[in-house]
């Protein structure tokens, strides 16, 4: 079964004014769809190379696989991390973990924004659960796959590729990333957090 593009969990214009319909349509229907297509294509080519015994070809194909798989995963998470009913602050165990690892929600937010705003070129800000340290970690991803840590589970991701914001915000990345907190779906992040710790 090839990978499939999931529908957005809300209407294309549901996140306005933070993100307009045109940005969301292009981002989901063209960019995310492109990663799904690239992922399926890479998997097919790897399967064909395995069957023909051309193992030397697989090294290059794995670059495409890592890039497109990570792009598909992050976009799927990103759509669910936002909601027209989002915003505010996390509650419950997620809030307690944030306070434990970062001291306060304000410090967490400031660190996440600093990390995300300083991604070099195209990439993501990432909040992940790191099981070995039993802690939340703030990471950057360059492109989708670089700078990852093995074994961590991403819970919250913020896309700062220019396609995510340039139509509306041009070069004002910090305005876009600050606005993300008006739609953050903390219930979804908390559900991902609970699932990651099982």
Residue 159 interacts with Mn ion (CB under 5 A): yes or no: yes
Output the smallest distance, CB 79 to Mn ion, in A.
10
Q: End-to-end CA distance of the chain: give it in Å, rounded.
A: 27
Q: Which residues contact 162 (CB under 8 A, 6 or more apart)?
A: 122
Please give the Cα distance from 75 to 71 (Å, whole number).
6
Output the smallest distance, CB 28 to Mn ion, in A.
9
Residue 188 interacts with Mn ion (CB under 5 A): yes or no: no
Q: Which stretch binds Mn ion (CB under 5 A): 41-49, 102-110, 119-127, 153-161?
A: 153-161
Please name every residue paired with 128 in a beta bridge, in sequence order, or none if there are none: 137, 154
Q: How many residues bind Mn ion (CB under 5 A)?
A: 4
Q: Which stretch binds Mn ion (CB under 5 A): 15-23, 55-63, 123-131, 164-172?
A: 164-172
Output the smallest distance, CB 61 to Mn ion, in A.
22
Q: Which residue is closest to Mn ion by CB?
A: 159
In the three-class reduction of DSSP (H, G, I as helix; E, B as strand; rest coil), residue 64 is classed as helix
In the three-class reduction of DSSP (H, G, I as helix; E, B as strand; rest coil), residue 120 is classed as coil
Output the smallest distance, CB 27 to Mn ion, in A.
6
Please give the Cα distance from 109 to 179 (Å, whole number).
12
Closest CA to 71 of 12, 123, 117, 8: 123
Q: Identify whether the C-beta of residue 123 lies closer than 8 Å to the C-beta of residue 78.
A: no
Q: Which stretch binds Mn ion (CB under 5 A): 29-37, 49-57, 127-135, 183-191?
A: 29-37
Enter the tokens of residue 106: 């304000």
Output the smallest distance, CB 103 to Mn ion, in A.
31
Q: Which is nearer to Mn ion, 99 or 140 (CB)?
A: 140
Q: Which stretch binds Mn ion (CB under 5 A): 90-98, 135-143, 155-163, 181-189?
A: 155-163
Enter the tokens of residue 68: 């497109």
Contact residues toward Mn ion (CB under 5 A) are 31, 159, 161, 164
């Amino acid at each position: 079964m090839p990978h499939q593009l999931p529908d957005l969990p809300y209407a294309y214009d549901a996140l306005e004014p933070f993100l307009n319909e045109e940005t969301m349509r292009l981002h989901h229907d063209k960019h995310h769809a492109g990663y799904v297509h690239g992922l399926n294509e890479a998997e097919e080519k790897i399967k064909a190379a395995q069957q023909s015994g051309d193992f030397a070809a697989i090294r290059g194909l794995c670059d495409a696989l890592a890039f497109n798989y990570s792009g598909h995963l992050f976009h799927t998470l990103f759509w669910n991390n936002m909601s027209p009913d989002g915003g505010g602050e996390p509650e419950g165990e997620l809030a307690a973990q944030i306070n434990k690892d970062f001291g306060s929600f304000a410090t967490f937010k400031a660190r996440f924004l600093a990390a995300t705003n300083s991604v070099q070129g195209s990439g993501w800000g990432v909040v992940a659960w790191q099981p070995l340290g039993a802690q939340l970690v703030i990471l950057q991803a360059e492109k989708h796959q670089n700078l990852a840590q093995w074994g961590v589970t991403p819970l919250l991701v913020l896309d700062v590729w220019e396609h995510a914001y340039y139509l509306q915000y041009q070069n004002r990345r910090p305005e876009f990333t600050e606005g993300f907190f008006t739609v953050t779906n903390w219930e979804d992040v908390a559900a991902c957090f609970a699932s990651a710790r099982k």
